[in-house]
Every structure is written in structure tokens, then in C-alpha cells.
């Protein structure tokens, strides 16, 4: 009996140790007991740059497992959550003392102790006399701003500008197909020496004019550069998936935005654009409040002068392709998902509304509202739509099915697990110019939902609304991914050498047992 037990132990345990000695597999461990906080970061500098801005930097914190980011506080109140080790604090009062602290946190929710405290006072608002000459010297607050270098990198629909200035300055960038620069503009409120921005939604193979204006901390402006650039020829790139579960919170006059990043999508950055006039329709149509990698931001004092702020969140892929945009409207006392230019409508559950609700002011055939997921295609004309909860899907409307005077199209998805929540996305013209599209990343949940498409004209009036129930379902067993949370995962191609080795080991064990058994048989 002992010999049989040894054989079974050899067969089932030894191969496991052999597998563990290789690096050709992935182990997924569930749970965890990380209770060790990150090390404490050290505030290094708090430097007043202008009457309304202070630049802060701190040292890198270290964690035993995975550092997630930092929380920066001003006068005891959190103002920013970031993965960086620096922050530009804007919108401050002139000649005012501000104190800063920072702490780190990890992926398990452990937080470090709070850093040292540093304080500084913002600069005074300069009084410039018209008779005072501008002195170009390092110590003068009125020295001339100059551009050191400017690089313009283009692809078929974007232009990326990178430049430096001789001292911190903010900028305004205008562009267009003529020197009247009617294509769009970007206005940056932060003063810095190293700057970069991306112009999107350009026409492939087209020449553009641009003008870059710099502003000193004391308000003096100068044209830094003006010229032309040409986008590259057209390609067949499509939209990358949008962020999902875009939500917001209001703290005083500040807005906190949170979202989930799309999985399996190489991301260069997330760009958040804000406007009090309406939803920015591209990633340069408004004030850029965030351009980096992360899933949470704090827009300080965004509601100080306006009751409503409209936000669009764009995903920029590594190849420069930009998502259609996730959108949300934030009000002074509440955060709401937009539905309608003449007021904010609420979304009830999918079962309480008709399958298709059309506003008579605009006639669009529901067969022209299309959904595509892998090889499956649907339209709002289908009686019922089933979508896999693990796959991206694209919603589109043919361009020639819509009137030219339309301003924007917004699709809203009801959360299948909490129908008090909904998430909205812009539909934008695709690269081929044939349809308005948006690609939506999976929510990874099962349940009944509803898609709502709203169409607005240039006066931002709602002219069409269409609704359709949608069910999110698990993939069929034949295509569902097999996940063993605490097991070893490897592909068939990678597995055959290991299986062959296992078989060889089993054979050797059986031979050894057989020989031992023969040696013990008495003559």
C-alpha cells in the first residue's frame, strides 16, 4: 500500500514542482494580506510661479507590493490624487499663504504617514506701467518670453506639438485650414516651461495654419510661433474603446471624476476636456483639465464661476487613435448624466419605457442605428438585442441618414446592475467619414440594460430620441474563457513540452517502483 501511495504522490505532486520551476506560465493568486503601507514621501519644493499658481514636487515613495499613487493636500484639504511626483496648483489667490502635505497609498488601500509640511505665498499681481520698458533679464518679472524649441509630429488626423520656453508661461493655440484659424483652439491655464498638446479630428492629407501665443505670469502676451503643418494621408484606423463607468462627485466648488480604463487596449493617455457651454466634441474643444495616465482626477474650483460644467473624457491610444469620448454633466449641487439640451432628463428602468421612443421633430429610420460586436450585427429594429458582457461593441449611424445641421449625437447606456446609474458617450465621425460611431468597452456584468440615442442640432436642441432594450449575457460555453483563479494557465503550444516531461517522469517512477518490487521478491 505504501508503494502505491508513493507512485500516486510521484505522479501528481512531482510534475507540479517541475512546472513551478519554469517561467512559461502565469499564476493568478486570489485574495491577499498586504497590510504594509508605503514609505512616506518627502515634499521637496513648493514654488510660487504666478499670482494664481504654485508648483509642488515630492520624492518617490516605495511599497512592498504595488504603489498606486499620492494624495496632495492644501491647507489640510485634499486637492489632487495622482500617480506623478509633481503637481501644478492653479486658481489660487494672489499674495496668499498656502501650506501643502502629501501621502502615498498602495493597491491594497494602505496609506503612508503624511509628509513634511511646506508653505509658500503666491506672487503679487504685477502693476505694469505703459512707460516701463521690458527688460530681458533673468531677474526681471517682465522679461520677454521666448520659445526654445518646437516640434510638430503629425499623423493622418492629429498633430502633436512639443515645445519649451525660457521661463514658465501659459499658452493659447489656434489652428485652421486658413490663417483665420477657425478650426479650433486650446487654452492652458498652467504656467510651465515644458509644454505639449495634441490637436485631433483633423482631415487626412490637409495643410493647416497654426498660431501659438505665450502669456507671462504678469499678463504680457507674445506670439511664440506661427506657421503651417500637413497631416499624413488617410488610414483605416478606428476608434479605440472609451472609458467606462464615468462618475463624478462635487466637493465645494471642486469636481472629482472617476472612470475605468478599457482593458486590453494600449493607452498613451487619458484627456479630460471641460466647457461650461456644452460637451466638448473632440479632445481639443475646450479647456484641458487632465492629460495623462490615471482613472481619477480633481478639477479644483471648476464650479466657482459656473453652475454647470460639461466634461468629455477621451482615450488616446498608443498609435494616436482617439476614442469618441465619454461625457458627463456636473452641476453645483449634484452630478448628473446628460440627456437633453433643454434640461436634464432622468432614465428609468429599461422595462418601464417603450422599445423605441421617437421624437416627432426628427425622423430617423431605426434600422440605421446599428450595433456591431465581433461578427454579430444588430439594429434598433431588432426585437431584442443580446450583447456579450466581455466584448467591446460599436454603435453607429450612417452619415447620409442624418441631416447636415446636426450638432452632436449622444448614446447613453443604463447600468445593468444599478439602473439608477447610466453612462453617456459621444458619437463622432469615423476616419472614413461614412458614419457617426462610438466604441464602448464591456461592463463585465450580466443583466437587462437599455441604449438611448439622442440627436441635437447646432442650437443644442434635442431633435430626436430613440431607446432600445439590451441584454448583456455571458459568452456561450464554447467561447467562454476558462479561468482557474489559483491554477497555472498556459496555451496548448506552450504545454506540450511540459506534458511530455510529465509523461517521462511518470514512466521513470513506474520503472523504479517495478525494479524495487522485483528486488524484494525472495528467491
Please check whether residue 92 lies inside any domain of the structure: yes
Please check whether residue 126 lies inside any domain of the structure: no
CA distance linking residue 399 with residue 389, whole number of Å: 28
CA distance linking residue 95 with residue 434, whole number of Å: 54
Do 411 and 443 fall into the same domain? Answer: yes
The last residue of a domain, from among 190, 208, 230: 230
* DSSP assignment string, 58-99: EPPP--SS-EEEEEEEETTEEEEEESSSEEEE-SPPTT-EEE
Q: What is the mean pLDDT of the chain?
A: 78
> pTM (2 decimals)?
0.50
Please check whether residue 341 lies inside any domain of the structure: no
Give tens-digit pLDDT for 489-520: 444 444 566 677 788 888 888 888 777 766 65
Task: Say which CATH number the domain at 167 has.
Answer: 2.60.40.10
Do 368 and 463 fall into the same domain? Answer: yes
Give tens-digit pLDDT for 107-156: 888 999 999 999 999 988 876 544 444 433 333 345 678 888 899 988 77
Do 436 and 496 fall into the same domain? Answer: no
Do 226 and 279 fall into the same domain? Answer: no
Closest of 268, 342, 344, 278 to residue 312, by C-alpha: 278
The last residue of a domain, from among 104, 121, 138: 121
Please check whether residue 478 lies inside any domain of the structure: no
- Reading phi first (left if > 0) and then psi (alpha if -120 to 50, else beta), residue 182 is in alpha
Confidence of residue 29 (pLDDT cuts 50, 70, 90): very low
Strand intervals (E) in 306-401 = 308-317, 326-331, 335-336, 369-373, 376-379, 385-388, 393-398
Do 412 and 509 fall into the same domain? Answer: no
Do 308 and 255 fall into the same domain? Answer: yes
C-alpha dist (Å) from residue 303 to 194, 257, 310, 338, 430: 28, 13, 11, 17, 33
Give tens-digit pLDDT for 413-450: 999 998 888 999 999 888 777 888 999 999 899 999 99
Give tens-digit pLDDT for 358-377: 454 456 788 889 999 988 89
Which position has the higher pLDDT, 308 or 406? 308
Please check whether residue 179 lies inside any domain of the structure: yes
Please check whether residue 139 lies inside any domain of the structure: no
Please check whether residue 19 lies inside any domain of the structure: yes
Residues 445, 351, 437, 159, CA torsion sign: negative
Domain count, the chain: 5
Do 362 and 392 fall into the same domain? Answer: yes
Query: What pLDDT does residue 490 have?
Result: 43
Read off the C-alpha cell for 159.
Answer: 498633430
Do 179 and 287 fall into the same domain? Answer: no
Q: Are 186 and 284 in contact (CB under 8 A)?
A: yes
Q: Which domain holds residue 363?
A: 351-473
Do 193 and 106 fall into the same domain? Answer: no
CA distance linking residue 424 with residue 437, whole number of Å: 13
Give tens-digit pLDDT for 210-254: 999 998 887 788 899 999 999 887 544 457 899 999 999 998 888
Do 277 and 298 fall into the same domain? Answer: yes
Do 355 and 460 fall into the same domain? Answer: yes
Do 59 and 11 fall into the same domain? Answer: no
Please check whether residue 108 lies inside any domain of the structure: yes
Amino acid at each position: 500500500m505504501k508503494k502505491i501511495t508513493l507512485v500516486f504522490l510521484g505522479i501528481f505532486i512531482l510534475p507540479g514542482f517541475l512546472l513551478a520551476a519554469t517561467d512559461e506560465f502565469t499564476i493568478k493568486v486570489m485574495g491577499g494580506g498586504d497590510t504594509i503601507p508605503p514609505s512616506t514621501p518627502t515634499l521637496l519644493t513648493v514654488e510660487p510661479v504666478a499670482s494664481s499658481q504654485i508648483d509642488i514636487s515630492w520624492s518617490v515613495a516605495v511599497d512592498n507590493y504595488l504603489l498606486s499613487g499620492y494624495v496632495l493636500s492644501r491647507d489640510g484639504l485634499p486637492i489632487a490624487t495622482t500617480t506623478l511626483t509633481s503637481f501644478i496648483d492653479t486658481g489660487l489667490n494672489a499674495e496668499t499663504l498656502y501650506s501643502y502635505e502629501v501621502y502615498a497609498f498602495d493597491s491594497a488601500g494602505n496609506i503612508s504617514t503624511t509628509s513634511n509640511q511646506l508653505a509658500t505665498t503666491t506672487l503679487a499681481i504685477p502693476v505694469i506701467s505703459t512707460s516701463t520698458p521690458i527688460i530681458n533679464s533673468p531677474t526681471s518679472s517682465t522679461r520677454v518670453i521666448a520659445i526654445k524649441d518646437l516640434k510638430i509630429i503629425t499623423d493622418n488626423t492629429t498633430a502633436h506639438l512639443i515645445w519649451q520656453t525660457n521661463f514658465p508661461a501659459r499658452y493659447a493655440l489656434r489652428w485652421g485650414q486658413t490663417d483665420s484659424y477657425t478650426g479650433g483652439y486650446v487654452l492652458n491655464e498652467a504656467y510651465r516651461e515644458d509644454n505639449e498638446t495634441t490637436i485631433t479630428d483633423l482631415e487626412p492629407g490637409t495643410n493647416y495654419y497654426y498660431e501659438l501665443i505665450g502669456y507671462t505670469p504678469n499678463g504680457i502676451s507674445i506670439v511664440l510661433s506661427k506657421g503651417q503643418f500637413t497631416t499624413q494621408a488617410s488610414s483605416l484606423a478606428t476608434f479605440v474603446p472609451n472609458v467606462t463607468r464615468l462618475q463624478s462627485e462635487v466637493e465645494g466648488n471642486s469636481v472629482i471624476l472617476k472612470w475605468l480604463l478599457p482593458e486590453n487596449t494600449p493607452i498613451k493617455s487619458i484627456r479630460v476636456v471641460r466647457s461650461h457651454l456644452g460637451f466638448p466634441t473632440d479632445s481639443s474643444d475646450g479647456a484641458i483639465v487632465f492629460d495623462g495616465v490615471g482613472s481619477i482626477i480633481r478639477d479644483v474650483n471648476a464650479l466657482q464661476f459656473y453652475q454647470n460644467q460639461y466634461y468629455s473624457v477621451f482615450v488616446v491610444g498608443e498609435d494616436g487613435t482617439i476614442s469618441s469620448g465619454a461625457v458627463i454633466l456636473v452641476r453645483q449641487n449634484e452630478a448628473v448624466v446628460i440627456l437633453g439640451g433643454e434640461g436634464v432628463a432622468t432614465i428609468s428602468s429599461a422595462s418601464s419605457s417603450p422599445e423605441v421612443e421617437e421624437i416627432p421633430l426628427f425622423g430617423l429610420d431605426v434600422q440605421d442605428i446599428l450595433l456591431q460586436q465581433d461578427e454579430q450585427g444588430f439594429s434598433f429594429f431588432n426585437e431584442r438585442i443580446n450583447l456579450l458582457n466581455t466584448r467591446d461593441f460599436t454603435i453607429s449611424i450612417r452619415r447620409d441618414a442624418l441631416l447636415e445641421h446636426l450638432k452632436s449625437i449622444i448614446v447613453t447606456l443604463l447600468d445593468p446592475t444599478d439602473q439608477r446609474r447610466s453612462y453617456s458617450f459621444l458619437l463622432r465621425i469615423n476616419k472614413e467619414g461614412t458614419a457617426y460611431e462610438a466604441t464602448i468597452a464591456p461592463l463585465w456584468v450580466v443583466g437587462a440594460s437599455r441604449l438611448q440615442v439622442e440627436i441635437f442640432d447646432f442650437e443644442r436642441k434635442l431633435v430626436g430620441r430613440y431607446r432600445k432594450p439590451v441584454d448583456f449575457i455571458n459568452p456561450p460555453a464554447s467561447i467562454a474563457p476558462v479561468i482557474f483563479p489559483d491554477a497555472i494557465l498556459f496555451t496548448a503550444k506552450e504545454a506540450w513540452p511540459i506534458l511530455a516531461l510529465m509523461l517521462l517522469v511518470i514512466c521513470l517512477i513506474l520503472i523504479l517502483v517495478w525494479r524495487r518490487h522485483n528486488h524484494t521478491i525472495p528467491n
